[in-house]
């Protein structure tokens, strides 16, 4: 694989590829500027002052080996917040080292919640034994949360439960990501909290004076994070809390993940009705967070999808370690989708092994991906290698993520040679004729980590794939391209 990046981005990539490995090459007379390159761990870096940050993934013949997954983004930030709300100290291990988690840690630091850092993947949080109050009660506390939805939504809810004035904001894309349904639920519970009325998006302004419990009825159609955020904040309210879903609940496994984690911190959530319909959740006043003393963050199941799909596409054999049959994450179900397409899947309690008989071609599938929206992006690229069309259903939430993922998936799959039919909440991908992927396609990533990782797998079609802004993977998986290269045969 080849990396091409501007000199301005060298600091970012030096976190992955040490600076001392970069050596000067001769001037390029035709362009009048310097070129730098080196070979490190199978990666070639090259830079020109006029070029954008790109990475070329060279043709991948096969993926074979074992990878240990980084910690789950969703679990990492949930663990940090619950530890901050708990009584006692909590050591959190296998914490994901990424932008989203950094924003949460910086917010806790600003809020004066003591966090002792043991390493990049291990911290100890001293809990507040209740809500997080402002360290400066009479002043606005500004929290910048980048594009981290897993920090913005839960913190917006949790900070309403204590005392203080807060403004939560982020990058321009965060100001396009809806949060009105969560704000509505918090207001029903009595919180003085607002977002931008015209857009229903951040910044979020909070004037917190504590809450006494109550009942809220919210929509679950746009994001399960709104419900998860309310659930996590409810045990620090001074009273019983009842939360009703008034329409339907998407991504229910993420809510189950939240409830399971809350139980590890000593809180029980009573559920009435089916999670697949209009459930009601009750958190009694008596429920309080108590530190489990230590907790290990499970490997990220969404990140597992790239290696699982790569094995299925190439017919190699890959084992992902860190999640398996005992996982609390819904995205492990992506392996079942690959099995439907023709792969062979072997489950362990904390591992998944995937391969494919070379005589068996992947087949197109029609799948409801409402419970695995992040992993469903990987299915879009696997569909390029299948026989027949693949229909990816119930993914309206793609439109509300780090970028407008439906438009992005359609655009980049089309560049690679597919014909894609786009609908409001689903798409149909018709693979290129003969599964022949277009060569040397520049993939736009739209500052979306999952676009970069998903479309790297197009190189399994025997072509060069150029990834624009590969550094965007720092959001959840800064070492992704190193790990992919470590098991790739070219």
CATH number for the domain spanning 90: value is 3.65.10.10
What is the structure's pLDDT at 277? Answer: 84
Residue 26 counted as domain residue: no
Q: Is 323 found in the same domain as 359?
A: yes
Q: Is 334 found in the same domain as 451?
A: yes
Q: Is 258 found in the same domain as 194?
A: yes
Give the active site residues: 374
Last residue of a domain, one of 252, 282, 312: 282
pLDDT tens-digit readout, 406-449: 999 999 999 999 999 999 999 999 999 999 999 999 999 999 99
Q: How many structural domains comprise the chain? A: 2
Give the CB-side neighbour count of residue 196, counting CA atoms within 13 A: 12
Q: Is 323 found in the same domain as 443?
A: yes
b (16+ CB within 10 A) / e for 158-180: bbbbbebbbebbbbebbbebbbb
Supply the mean pLDDT for the chain.
Answer: 89
Q: Is 336 found in the same domain as 325?
A: yes
Q: Is 85 found in the same domain as 63?
A: no
The pTM (predicted TM-score) of the whole model is: 0.83
Last residue of a domain, one of 254, 282, 310: 282
Q: Is 270 found in the same domain as 350?
A: no
Q: Is 78 found in the same domain as 65?
A: no
Last residue of a domain, one of 282, 308, 338: 282
For the cut 90, the answer to whether the pLDDT of residue 25 exceeds it is: no
CB atoms within 10 A of CB 294: 12
What is the structure's pLDDT at 52? Answer: 53
* Type and span of the H or E element at 340: helix 334-341
Please state, in angstroms and rounded to a whole number, the distance separating the CA atoms of residues 386 and 326. Answer: 29
Residue 234 DSSP code: G
pLDDT tens-digit readout, 205-228: 999 999 999 999 999 998 999 999
End-to-end Cα spacing for the chain: 9
Of 400 and 460, more confident: 460
Please state, in angstroms and rounded to a whole number, the distance separating the CA atoms of residues 378 and 375. Answer: 5
Q: Is 476 found in the same domain as 403?
A: yes
Please state, in angstroms and rounded to a whole number, the distance separating the CA atoms of residues 59 and 462. Answer: 4
pLDDT tens-digit readout, 112-138: 999 999 999 999 999 999 999 999 988
Q: What are phi and psi of 483, to 5 degrees?
A: -70, -40
For the cut 90, the answer to whether the pLDDT of residue 402 exceeds it is: no
Provide the domain limits for residue 388: 54-70+298-489
Q: Is 469 found in the same domain as 326?
A: yes
Q: Is 63 found in the same domain as 91?
A: no
Tokens of 376: 């469903």
Strand order in the sheet with 2-4: 23-24, 36-40, 43-47, 2-4, 54-57, 465-468, 441-443
CB atoms within 10 A of CB 49: 13
Q: Is 192 found in the same domain as 337?
A: no
């Amino acid at each position: 694989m080849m990396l091409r990046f501007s000199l301005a981005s060298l600091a970012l990539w030096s976190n992955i590829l040490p600076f001392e490995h970069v050596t000067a090459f001769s001037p390029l007379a035709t362009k009048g500027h310097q070129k730098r390159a080196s070979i490190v761990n199978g990666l070639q870096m090259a830079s020109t002052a006029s070029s954008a940050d790109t990475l070329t993934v060279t043709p991948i013949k096969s993926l074979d080996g074992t990878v240990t997954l980084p910690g789950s983004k969703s679990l990492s930030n949930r663990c940090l917040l619950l530890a901050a709300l708990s009584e006692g100290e909590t050591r959190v291990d296998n914490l994901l080292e990424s932008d989203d988690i950094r924003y949460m840690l910086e917010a806790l630091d600003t809020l004066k919640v003591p966090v002792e850092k043991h390493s990049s993947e291990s911290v100890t949080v001293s809990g507040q034994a209740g809500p997080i109050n402002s360290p400066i009660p009479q002043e606005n506390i500004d929290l910048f949360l980048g594009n981290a939805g897993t920090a913005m939504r839960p913190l917006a809810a949790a900070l309403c439960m204590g005392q203080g004035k807060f403004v939560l904001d982020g990058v321009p894309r965060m100001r396009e990501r809806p949060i009105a349904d969560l704000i509505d639920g918090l207001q029903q519970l009595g919180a003085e909290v607002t977002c931008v009325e015209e857009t229903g998006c951040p910044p979020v302004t909070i004037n917190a004076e504590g809450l006494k419990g109550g009942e809220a009825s919210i929509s679950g159609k746009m994001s399960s994070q709104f419900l998860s955020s309310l659930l996590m904040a409810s045990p620090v309210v001074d009273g019983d809390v009842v939360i009703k879903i008034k329409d339907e609940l998407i991504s229910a496994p993420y809510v189950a993940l939240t409830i399971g984690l809350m139980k590890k911190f000593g809180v029980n959530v009573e559920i009435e009705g089916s999670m697949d319909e209009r459930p009601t959740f009750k958190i009694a006043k008596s429920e309080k967070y108590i530190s489990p003393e230590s907790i290990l963050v499970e490997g990220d199941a969404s990140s597992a999808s790239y290696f699982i799909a790569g094995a299925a596409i190439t017919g190699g054999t890959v084992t992902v370690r860190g999640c398996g049959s005992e996982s609390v994450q819904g995205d492990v179900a992506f392996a079942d989708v690959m099995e439907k397409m023709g792969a062979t899947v072997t489950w362990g309690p904390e591992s998944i092994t995937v391969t494919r008989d070379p005589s068996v071609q992947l087949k197109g599938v029609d799948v409801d991906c409402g419970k695995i929206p992040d992993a469903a992006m990987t299915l879009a690229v696997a569909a390029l290698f299948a026989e027949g069309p693949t229909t990816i259903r119930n993914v309206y939430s793609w439109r509300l993520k780090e970028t407008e993922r439906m438009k992005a998936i359609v655009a980049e799959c089309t560049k690679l040679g597919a014909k894609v039919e786009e609908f409001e909440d689903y798409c149909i991908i018709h693979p290129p004729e003969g599964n022949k992927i277009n060569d040397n396609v520049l993939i736009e990533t739209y500052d979306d980590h999952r676009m970069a990782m998903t479309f790297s797998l197009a190189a399994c079609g025997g072509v060069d794939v150029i990834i624009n802004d590969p550094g965007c993977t720092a959001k959840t998986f800064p070492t992704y391209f190193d790990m992919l290269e470590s098991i790739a045969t070219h």
